[in-house]
Chains A and B, each alone.
Chain A
C-alpha cells in the first residue's frame, strides 16, 4: 500500500517540475548570445571608464583629483598641468596631463563618477578587460578619452588668457 502511494507522489513531483520547465520553454529567451552576438547592457551598467569631452572637443577633466581621492582602492593616478594660450586641453584652467586607471585594482564601484564635479569621468559599457599581462591593465588617458565630437578640433581660444611667462619681468 505505501509503495503505490510513493510512486504516485514521485510522479506528481516530476510532473510539477516539468510543468515549470515546459512553461519556461514557451517564454522568450532572456540570456545573451555573447560572444556570438553583442551583449545588451542596462543603461547604468558600470564598465570601463570614459573620460568625456565637451561640445568643442575639450576634455572635461580639470585634474581636480577628487576622483582619485574618492577611489577606495586608489587606482587613479593623475598629473595636473595648466592650459596655456598656445595649447588648451580642457575647459578649465588646468587639465590632466596624465590620467591613469589601474584596472587590476578598480572594483567598478562608481565613486569616482559620483565625485567628479565636471561629469568628466563616467562609466562606459566596456567590459572585455581580461589580459594575461597585468601591466596592460593600466589604462592611460588616451585609452579612456571619448572620441572627438563630429566637426570639433579640440582646439579653442582662451576666453580669459593668463600669460604664463614673465609677469612683467
Chain B
C-alpha cells in the first residue's frame, strides 16, 4: 500500500495516497472543485485557474489540480476569497467569449455556462470589442470555433496522450491563440471525435450533431456499439425516433468515455435510405415487396415441405446479433430444423484457447485487466486499427503505470511508439519469435497476451505452453472481430459445438462445407453476408432465406428477405472480445423491421417447433441456467456493467477447425458489410485505412 496522507478539506478529514492531487482528494470526499483544464486521467495543465483553493499556511490561492495532497494540509474550497477569484477567472474567460449560447451546441451541457451561472457576475468590466476569429471545418466530423475556445488543452491532451495521434496543437499567442489541426487547414487523424466530447465549451462541435438539437430534448439509450468486438458502451441520443448523437459522457461501461470513430459516428447506417422495410419474395426471378404475413407463410410452407421430404438445411448465423438471438437460432436449427449444419464467420481461434486453458480459472483477461496488468504482449494484430479500445487501455496502462507492451506483428503498428520491444514476423510466424522476449517477460509480475487471427490451431497451444513456461500469471485474449463474434462461439453457432462448448453427437457442416455443398435444399442466413466479394453457394437450387438490414450480395441471391433490426434497435446481451457480457437497449425503431428473435419466434410458432418463448428475458434466463459459464449476475447487467462469462471449464474434445478462422481485415474506418452503409465513414479521407502501415 502506498504512503497514505490525511488532509482536511472543508472540515472533512480525507485519507489518500501520497501524491494524490487535492482536486482528486476533494472528489473522494464528495466535494466538487470546479475545473476547466483539469481532466481526470490526463497530464496536469494548470492553465485555467478555475480550481483555486485556499490552503492554510500558504500565502496565495493554490491550483488544486496541480497541488499534491500533504499530511495535515487544511484546504478550504469555497471561502469568499476563493469565490472572488473564480468570479474573476470567469470574467477573464468571458472577455472574448461570444456568449452565443442560444446557437451554441454546448448550451445546456456547457461547463463554462454552468460556472457562469454558479459564480459569474452579470456584467463585465471589459468594454472593448471582442476578438473574433471565424469558425473552421477541419473534417466532415470536426468543426472548430476559435472564438469560443478557452484554451484548456483538453483536446490536445486526449488526442496526444490518450490516443497517440497527436493531431492537435496550439498556434499564435495571446488573444489570437488557437488550436490548429495537424494539416494546417484540416485534420488527418482517427476522427474519433473524442476532442469534441471533452471540450468544456462549444469550441469543437460535431459535424453530425451540429445545430440539430439540445441536450434536454433527447432520450438517452444505453447501448453497446455494434461495430467491433471491443464492446464499448455508448449512449445514443435519440430524438423523434432518430439517433442523432452517440457518446458516453457519463463514463459508464468498460470504455469510460472512449469511443472510436465507428462508435461515435458510425451509427448513421440505421437511417440509411437503403434500409429494407418490407419483406421481399422472389417472384418471376425478381424480389418483390410483400407483407410480413405473406413472407412468413411462404417460408413456413417451404420449410415444412423440406422437413417432410427429409431435405438438407444449412444455417449461417451472425456476429452482430444478440446472445439471445444466437442461442435461439441454434435451438431453432438443432431442435426445429434437426440439423447441425450451423456456423458463422469465425474471426479468431477461441475454441483452441478454451481447450488449451481447460481447468484453469482467471486465465482470460478483461478489458479492465489491460489497464492494470504489469505487461502486455500483442501478437499479429494492429490494435489501434482493429481493437481501438484495447489499444487505448494498453496505452493508458503504459502512461499511468509504465507497464511495458511487447508487439510481434507483420508490419508497423501504432504501439511501436511506446512498445518496450517491437518484433516483425510473418503472419502466422509470430509465436516462433517469442523466445527472444522470454527474459524480459519473465521479469514481469504478470502478463496479458492478445493474439490475432493469424495465431490459430497449434500456434495457440504453443503460445499457452510458452505462457506457462514463464512462471508468472498469464491471461489471454483471443482477438475476434465483431461485436458478438465471441457470443456466437459461446452460444454454439458451430457445427460441432453447442452452447457452452458442448460437443454435439453428429457434427454438421462448417461454413466452407456449406458453401461448397451442391445438394442443400434450404440455406438460412440470419444476418450474415457469406456471398460478399462475389462468392457463391454451390447449391444453385437451394431456397435461400436471409434476415438482413440491407440488400447485400447475399440478400440479392435470396428467395425470401426478411428485414431485420440492427443491434441499436433491440434489447439483449452481447459478449465482447474479452468474454464480458453486457446489456444493450433498444433506441430507435425502423418501421417494418423485426428483431431476429421475433422472426424466429413467429416462424417457430407457425412451424410447431417447441423451442421456448421467444422473449429476450426468457431466453437470457435459459442461457444463464443452461450455458456453461453464462450464469452472469443480473444486477451487474442491469446496472450497465460487464460480467465476464466463465467459459473455461474442462476440455473441448473436438477439432477446432482453425482453417475456418478468417480475419475480416477491417480497419478503424471499415466495419464489414455494415460499414458500407455508413455514409459518414465512407466520406472520410482516412477511409478505408490500411492495417500494419506506418
Contacts and interface: CB of A to CB of B under 8 A. Distances in A.
Q: Do A and B come from one complex?
A: yes
Interface stretch (A51-59, A127-135, A156-164): A156-164
B211 A94 contact: yes
B138 interface: yes
Interface stretch (A42-50, A60-68, A102-110): A60-68
A80 B211 contact: yes
Interface string A70-103: 0000000001111000000000111000000000
A118 B102 contact: yes
B241 to A, nearest CB: 13
A168 B214 contact: no
B134 A94 contact: no
Contacts of B103: 62-64, 92-94
B137 A82 contact: no
B186 interface: yes
Contacts of A168: 137-139, 183, 185-187
Interface string B118-146: 00000000000000001111111011000
A164 B137 contact: yes
B517 interface: no
A117 B207 CA distance: 25
Nearest to A91: B103
A19 B2 CA distance: 97
B17 to A, nearest CB: 44
B51 to A, nearest CB: 30
Interface in B138-193: 138-140, 142-143, 183, 185-187
B213 interface: yes
B138 to A, nearest CB: 5
B179 to A, nearest CB: 15
Among A93, A94, A161, A168, find the residue whose CB has the most chain B CB atoms closer than 10 A: A168
B196 to A, nearest CB: 13
B134 A81 contact: no
B143 A162 contact: yes
B399 interface: no
Interface string B479-495: 00000000000000000
Contacts of B139: 167-169
Nearest to A162: B135
A167 B140 contact: yes
B336 interface: no
B102 A92 contact: yes
Nearest to A117: B102
- Chain A contact residues: over half helix, strand or loop, or mixed? loop
Interface residues on B, range: 20 to 34
B266 to A, nearest CB: 17
A167 B187 CA distance: 8
A118 B211 CA distance: 16
A24 interface: no
Contacts of B136: 162, 167
Nearest to B138: A167
A38 interface: no
B100 A92 contact: yes
A165 interface: yes
Given A62-B103, A92-B103, A117-B102, A166 B211 contact: no
B647 interface: no
B286 interface: no
B107 A93 contact: no
B117 interface: no
A30 B137 CA distance: 62
A82 B139 CA distance: 17
B211 A65 contact: no
Contacts of A62: 102-103
B140 A69 contact: no
A63 B211 contact: yes
Contacts of A65: 213-214, 216-217
Among B103, B142, B187, B217, find the residue whose CB has the most chain A CB atoms closer than 10 A: B103
A72 B409 CA distance: 61
A102 to B, nearest CB: 15
Contacts of A164: 137
A77 to B, nearest CB: 9
B417 to A, nearest CB: 25
Nearest to A90: B103
Given A62-B103, A166-B140, A80 B213 contact: yes
Among B139, B187, B214, B683, find the residue whose CB has the most chain A CB atoms closer than 10 A: B214
Contact of A160 (B134, B140, B207, B213): B134
Contacts of B134: 160-162
Contacts of B207: 167
Interface in A133-163: 160-163
Nearest to B134: A160
Contacts of A63: 103, 211
A69 B102 CA distance: 12
Contacts of B143: 162, 167
B685 interface: yes
Given A65-B214, A69-B216, A167 B102 contact: no
Contacts of B684: 169
Contacts of B213: 65, 80
A82 B186 contact: no
Nearest to B181: A168
A169 to B, nearest CB: 4
Nearest to A165: B137
Given A162-B134, A165-B137, A168-B186, A81 B217 contact: no
Contact of A80 (B140, B186, B212): B212
B210 interface: yes
A19 B685 CA distance: 90
A89 B285 CA distance: 49
B685 A64 contact: no
A168 B184 CA distance: 10
B265 to A, nearest CB: 14
Nearest to A93: B103
A169 B207 CA distance: 13
Interface string B194-237: 00000000000001001111101100000000000000000000
A132 to B, nearest CB: 29
A163 B102 contact: no
A93 B183 contact: no
Contacts of B101: 64, 117
B211 A167 contact: no
Contacts of B137: 162-168
23 contacts: A62-B102, A63-B211, A64-B102, A64-B103, A64-B214, A69-B214, A80-B211, A80-B212, A80-B213, A81-B211, A93-B100, A93-B103, A160-B134, A162-B136, A162-B137, A165-B137, A166-B140, A166-B685, A167-B136, A167-B137, A167-B187, A168-B185, A168-B187
- 10 A-B pairs with least C-beta separation: A168-B186, A64-B102, A167-B137, A94-B211, A65-B214, A169-B685, A82-B211, A92-B103, A117-B102, A167-B139
Interface of B: 100-103, 107, 134-140, 142-143, 183, 185-187, 207, 210-214, 216-217, 240, 683-685
Given A161-B134, A162-B134, A169-B683, 9 more contacts: A63-B211, A64-B102, A64-B214, A79-B240, A80-B212, A117-B101, A160-B134, A163-B137, A169-B684
